[in-house]
Amino acid sequence: MAHLGENRYGKSRVRVMKVVRHDTHHEMKEWSVRVLLHGDFETCFTEGDNSRILPTDTMKNTVYWLARESNAGTLEEFAIELVQYLLGNNPQVSKATAEVEEKSWKQVFIDGQPHATTYTLTGPELQTTLVTLDRGGEPVVQGGIDGLVILKTTNSAFTGYLKDKLTTLPESTDRIFGTRATIEWDFSPGATNFAATRATALSTLLKVFADHDSLSVQHTLYDMGDAMLKALPDISQVKLTMPNLHCLLVDLSRFGQENPNQIFVPIDEPHGYIEAVITR
């Protein structure tokens, strides 16, 4: 006989834009929210009993309603309020998670000044948060950046690796190093400086990436995480995922040309994939 194992449900891709209209300028944020609930839902599965089911449509409405009620200044605070509301109003729920992604809208510069009410999308990356709340516990908060595309044209090598009968990769002392990085940092319990942490996290990881004499993706990834831990006392660990954006040196000798590290072919697939948690 079958049994119900781990299960959860919720609403994904609840998009909401909030405009705060100050006299001198507007603040605009665009979020996509995902809510997931764990709890006592067994008879829904086994008998079709919906009496303990909060419809996912209502979760969507909850996001809209809370967007209006809330004064949250950061996506982390909004996500905390959301899981607190859901647990507080639904005794059948034992755990709630909220994920929020924020698009990279920034004010456009007109004649050298940021325009008060006009925005442009400035990158593929998303600012992210994931907040988990167990009944009776405190919110566990993670901040992050998803899909930050960065590339350096020098100070990256890859040599001294294992060779076997299937090795064809030539060693390189000066290669392109590109990645679509995803970074997730775990806040220590009680931390509240979400905005400052986000700003410092980005500036710190960019600086290490740019200046590092990289011997491998792993090598640079570790130093990025190490620097973030040093700069951010309120985080307990950071996870970095850095898939390669490979740029292959083109063999131009077939056409009688030299190629002194100038002409590359970027490829999307296949690609290397490296992830690691750096902890204290």
Alpha-carbon span 113 to 116, nearest angstrom: 9
Piece of 76-84, 133-141, 190-198, 252-260 that binds a copy of itself (CB under 8 A): 252-260
Return the C-alpha torsion angle 77, 81, 84, 87, nearest 10. Answer: -130
Piece of 26-34, 127-135, 137-145, 187-195 that binds a copy of itself (CB under 8 A): 26-34
Binding test (CB under 8 A) with a copy of itself, winner from 192, 222, 231, 234: 222
The H or E element that residue 85 is part of is helix 75-89
Give the number of other Cβ atoms within 10 Å of residue 125's Cβ. Answer: 21
Binding test (CB under 8 A) with a copy of itself, winner from 48, 173, 190, 253: 48
CB of 174 to a copy of itself, least distance (A): 10
102 and 127 Cβ atoms separated by less than 8 Å: yes
Question: Taking CB under 8 A as the rule, does residue 142 contact a copy of itself?
Answer: no
**3-class secondary structure, 40:** coil
Task: Spell out, one character per residue from 145 to 184, where the chain touches a copy of itself: x when CB under 8 A holds, - when not.
Answer: ---xxxxxxxx--xxxxx-xxxxxx------x--------
Binding test (CB under 8 A) with a copy of itself, winner from 40, 122, 138, 189: 122
φ and ψ at residue 209, rounded to 5 degrees: -55, -45
Alpha-carbon span 178 to 274, nearest angstrom: 12
Give the number of other Cβ atoms within 10 Å of residue 268's Cβ. Answer: 9
Task: Look up 132 and say whether it is catalytic.
Answer: no
Rank residues 114 and 189 by Cβ distance to a copy of itself and give the closer one: 114
Alpha-carbon span 44 to 276, nearest angstrom: 39
What's the chain's length in residues? 280
Task: Look up 246 and say whether it is catalytic.
Answer: yes
CB of 242 to a copy of itself, least distance (A): 9
Binding test (CB under 8 A) with a copy of itself, winner from 84, 192, 200, 218: 218
Structure tokens at 37: 């609930």
Task: Look up 219 and say whether it is catalytic.
Answer: no
Piece of 24-32, 71-79, 136-144, 193-201 that binds a copy of itself (CB under 8 A): 24-32
Alpha-carbon span 16 to 24, nearest angstrom: 23
Piece of 116-124, 127-135, 138-146, 190-198 that binds a copy of itself (CB under 8 A): 116-124
Whether the CA torsion 128, 71, 37, 186 is positive or negative: it is: positive
Rank residues 133 and 148 by Cβ distance to a copy of itself and give the closer one: 148
Question: Taking CB under 8 A as the rule, does residue 196 contact a copy of itself?
Answer: no
Question: Taking CB under 8 A as the rule, does residue 185 contact a copy of itself?
Answer: no
Catalytic residue positions, numbered: 11, 56, 246
